[in-house]
Amino acid sequence: MKIRSTIAICSLFLILVLPLQAGPTAAGSEDADIHAFLQKFLAAFDNLDWPTFEDCFSDSATVFHPAPPNLRRTDSRSQFEKAWLGVFERIKKESGRSSPPYMQLKPEDVQIEILADGAALVTFHLTNGNILSRRTLVLKKFALGWKIVHIHASNLPVN
């Protein structure tokens, strides 16, 4: 009888306590993976590394760009490439540099929220002089890792 009580108590412990301990570790691991993905994405953007940058997006990604000429949502692969390659060209020209990095993006106030079904929401700010740039990325975890499925970007003048 004593053995059955011990087994019951141990079983109850395993059922109730271990999932609580495993949860934060799993979430912490997801956060670390997303931070690593965000660093990869931003480095590719800083360096205007098109192959790596493009690989950060799902094939059906949509984007709301923050400035002209891309005022409408891009929601096809051809629109995506045309819009981003135009952005890359403008950044390279405005940087005055002939080699990477062309920018030095430093995200501020990064917040990551793990959502259901392998999705995550990432928000952050970028500041550049008198412009506050707000960024929201919706990520989805695919077999080969995290990919951006949507970006919403907006810029606000700061006085």
Residue 21's CB: how many other CB atoms inside 10 A? 8
Q: What is the pLDDT of residues 60-108, one digit of tens each?
A: 999 999 988 888 899 999 999 999 999 999 999 999 999 999 999 999 9
Q: Which pLDDT belongs to residue 67?
A: 87
Residue type, position 47, single letter: N
Q: Which pLDDT belongs to residue 125?
A: 96
What is d(CA 13, CA 63) in angstroms, rounded to the nearest whole number?
A: 47
Q: Which pLDDT belongs to residue 20?
A: 36
Number of domains in the chain: 1
Q: What is the pLDDT of residues 5-44, one digit of tens each?
A: 434 343 333 333 333 333 444 557 889 999 999 999 999 9
Q: Which of 112, 103, 157, 155 is nearest to 137 (CA)?
A: 112
Residue 48 belongs to domain with CATH number: 3.10.450.50
Q: In terms of residue numbers, what domain contains 107?
A: 2-157
Give me 46's structure tokens. Answer: 């800083």
User: Model's pTM, two decimal places?
Assistant: 0.81
Q: Which pLDDT belongs to residue 18?
A: 35
The position carrying tokens 């106030």 is 109
Q: What is the pLDDT of residues 103-152, one digit of tens each?
A: 999 999 999 999 999 999 999 999 988 999 999 999 999 999 999 999 99
